[in-house]
Amino acid sequence: MKNFSPFAIGILMVLIIGSIMLIPIDEILPERYFSSFQVEYISRSLKMFVLFALSAWGIKKIWLKSLSGLSLEYKWTSKWLNLIPAYLFLLGLASFIGSDISSIAISDVLLLLFGCLMVGFAEEFMFRGFLQPLFIQKLILKRNGLFLGILFPALFFGATHLLNLTVNNNVPQVLVQCIYATFIGFFFGVLLLKTNKLVPLAITHGLINFFFLLGTLPGIKVSENIPEDALGTTSLVGQIIEYMVPMLLVLPLFIIGIVVLRKVDKDQVLKKLEL
C-alpha cells in the first residue's frame, strides 16, 4: 500500500467515506423506539465505527505505527499542547449559556458524547494516523516536505466536509466548514508529530465536536431574549459574519501549528520512518 500515490489513496478515502455516509442506516431504525436525534447519532456512530475499523486496518498494513502515533517505542511528549484547543470547549459551552437545560435526557447527552468520540477516533485514525504518514514518507526529503506532508492530509480532511452538501444546500456555509476543518486538521497533524500519540488527539477532536454540538440536544430551550439581528439571519452582513466566525475561531490553531512545526525534529521523523 505504501507504494501507491498518497494522493490516489486520499481520493479513494474520500470516495469510501462518502459511500459509507450515504448508507441509509437510519431508515432501518424503528422510530417508535428512538427519537430522530437518537436515530441520527446511532446511525452516525455505526458508520464512524466502520470507518475507524477500516483506518485501523490500513495503519496496520502500512507498518508506520511510529508516525501514526500508535507505537509504544515513543512516549507521550509535550502533553500541554493537547490543552491548547480547550478554548474551543469553553466557546462551545458558552454558545448555549442562558438556555433552559432542565428537559435534557442524560441518555441523549451520553449518546452525543459517544457519537462525537467515534467521529474523533474515525477521522483522526483516517487522516492523521493513516494518510499523513503516507504523505510524510513520500515528501519528507523534498523542500518543505514535512509541511506539505501535514498540509495535504489536512486538505483532504477539509475536502470531506463537502459531503455535507448532501444534507445542506447552503454552499457558502459548507465551504467555510471545509476551510476551518483544514486549519484544525493541520494543527492536529503537527500535534501528532510533536506528542507522538494519536489517541489523546482523537479524544480532543471528539470533545471539541461534543461541546459545540451540546446546543443541538433535544430539550434545550434557547433564550427568547436574543434579538433576531444577533442570530445573523436578517442581513447579508450578518450571514457572512455567521459563516466566518468558526473559521476565525480555529485560525489561531493553524498559526500555532506552523510555529510548533518549526520545533519538530526532522531527524526524529526520519528515524520513525526506519522503524
pLDDT, tens digit, for every residue of 27-72? 888 777 888 899 999 999 999 999 999 999 999 998 899 999 999 9
83 lies in a domain? yes
What is the DSSP-derived secondary structure letter of residue 10? Answer: H
Q: Which residues does 173 contact at the CB level (< 8 Å), separation at least 6?
A: 243
**Of the given ranges (3-12, 91-100, 189-198), which has the lowest mean pLDDT?**
91-100
**Of the given ranges (82-91, 144-153, 162-171, 249-258), which has the lowest mean pLDDT?**
162-171
Instruction: Tell me if 39 sits within 8 A of 26, measured CB to CB.
Output: yes
CB count in 10 Å sphere of residue 182: 22
- For the segment 110-125, the average pLDDT, to the nearest whole number, is 97
Model confidence at 220, pLDDT cuts 50, 70, 90, reads confident
pLDDT of 269 above 90: yes
Q: How many domains does the chain have?
A: 1
Most confidently modeled range among 165-174, 176-185, 224-233? 176-185
What is the domain extent for residue 66?
A: 6-274
Distance, CA of 129 to CA of 134 (rounded, Å): 9
In the predicted model, what is the mean pLDDT of the chain?
Answer: 89
- For the segment 263-271, the average pLDDT, to the nearest whole number, is 92
Distance, CA of 114 to CA of 45 (rounded, Å): 8
pLDDT of 232 above 70: no
Model confidence at 238, pLDDT cuts 50, 70, 90, reads low
pLDDT of 131 above 90: yes
Grid cell 508529530 — which residue?
Answer: 193
Model confidence at 123, pLDDT cuts 50, 70, 90, reads very high
259 lies in a domain? yes
Distance, CA of 17 to CA of 51 (rounded, Å): 7
For residue 239, the model assigns a pLDDT of 65
Whole-angstrom CA distances from 75 to 70, 137, 142, 144, 204 are 10, 21, 28, 26, 18
77 lies in a domain? yes
174 lies in a domain? yes
Distance, CA of 106 to CA of 109 (rounded, Å): 5
pLDDT of 14 above 70: yes
Instruction: Tell me if 119 sits within 8 A of 48, measured CB to CB.
Output: yes
1 lies in a domain? no
pLDDT of 214 above 80: yes
Instruction: Tell me if 243 sits within 8 A of 176, measured CB to CB.
Output: yes
264 lies in a domain? yes
**Of the given ranges (12-26, 169-183, 209-223, 246-260), which has the lowest mean pLDDT?**
209-223
Distance, CA of 194 to CA of 256 (rounded, Å): 12
Q: What is the pTM of this model?
A: 0.90
For residue 97, the model assigns a pLDDT of 77
Model confidence at 16, pLDDT cuts 50, 70, 90, reads very high
pLDDT of 95 above 80: no
pLDDT of 225 above 60: no
- For the segment 130-144, the average pLDDT, to the nearest whole number, is 94
